[in-house]
Amino acid sequence: MPVTAQSTLKALTPWEIGVMFWAGPDPAETLAVLKRLGVRCGQLGVPGDLDISSSAAAWRNALAADSFTVYTVIAAFNGESYADVPTVRNTVGFIPPATRAEREKRMYAVSDFAAAVGVPGIGTHVGFIPEDDSDPDYIAMRELVRRICDHCAKHGQTFALETGQETAEALRSFLLDVNRDNLGINFDPANMILYGTGDPIEALGTLGTHVLSVHCKDGDWPPKGQPDALGQERPLGKGAVGVENFLNQLRAVGYNGPLAIEREVENPAERLADIESGISLLRRLTKAPR
Ligand code: MG
């Protein structure tokens, strides 16, 4: 029987606390770290250079052995850099023309990998979507996202666009224009702040019906007067998001899926410690049992 989004998520409690984590070469080793954190669900990031052509069975077995639920596979691509706004514009997602075809192929491979692991959805940063819907890059992006959705649909999967690089209104009209039932968003409140695209709580109100999953991430606004600079990502609860307001807004838009903590700081020990304190914070705010 194919695994559907609903049957996978049924294994989880509403607002179950999870983690956005990156796949290493050994699935059991990656999962051991998560188990020590005391979570039993998450989103699996696959770096662009990870060989996913033959590792699906190993992931499927490791997840089953640990009763760990992955509900989204998130794709990143070779050659992406998040150094500053122009670099993101030039390197991330489907906008750079030189890598567009190769990244489209990779998305199909990620979708096939997710299906073989038993994961009901995939997601990625598609890059800066132009606001002008007659821009050739906008049209190319819309057609590409349609093709990915149609590929995912064959596996019964959803496709989630990571938020943050567009205003809520621009993203909403893009989603409506693509017009695919299995398309939605992975709402990341910190990204809206880091890119200076708008108040995330208000944006969540606008985009509420399109939310497939969320990142619990925090950050500070970009420095004033430096239009190319990104804001600083911060440990959950230490930035400008306002985690309590974020949770209240999630409740208001009727979201009851999992809460994946994301922390992107380079140092692994710092990242783990920050995720751990993020888990405690969410447990306290959601009154989730330990
Ligand atoms: Mg994110």
Beta-carbon neighbours within 5 Å of ion ligand 1: 188, 215, 262
Q: Is the pLDDT of residue 15 over 90?
A: yes
Question: Which DSSP symbol is given to 230?
Answer: -
The rounded percent of the chain whose pLDDT value lies above 70 is: 96
How far, in Å, are 7, 30, 77, 115 from residue 26 at the CA level? 26, 6, 20, 19
| pLDDT recorded at residue 283 | 97
CA of 215 to the centre of ligand 1 (A): 5
CATH H superfamily, domain 5-286: Divalent-metal-dependent TIM barrel enzymes (3.20.20.150)
> Token pair of 240, please?
């400008």
Q: What mean pLDDT comes out for the span 153-157?
A: 98
pLDDT digits (tens, 9 = 90+) for 191-240: 999 999 999 999 999 999 999 999 999 999 999 999 899 999 999 999 99
Which element (helix H / strand E) includes 9? helix 5-10
How far, in Å, are 85, 123, 277 from residue 137 at the CA level? 18, 20, 41
Q: What mean pLDDT comes out for the span 100-108?
A: 98
Q: Is the pLDDT of residue 5 over 70?
A: no
Q: What is the pTM of this model?
A: 0.95
pLDDT digits (tens, 9 = 90+) for 121-145: 999 999 999 999 999 999 999 999 9
CA of 191 to the centre of ligand 1 (A): 7
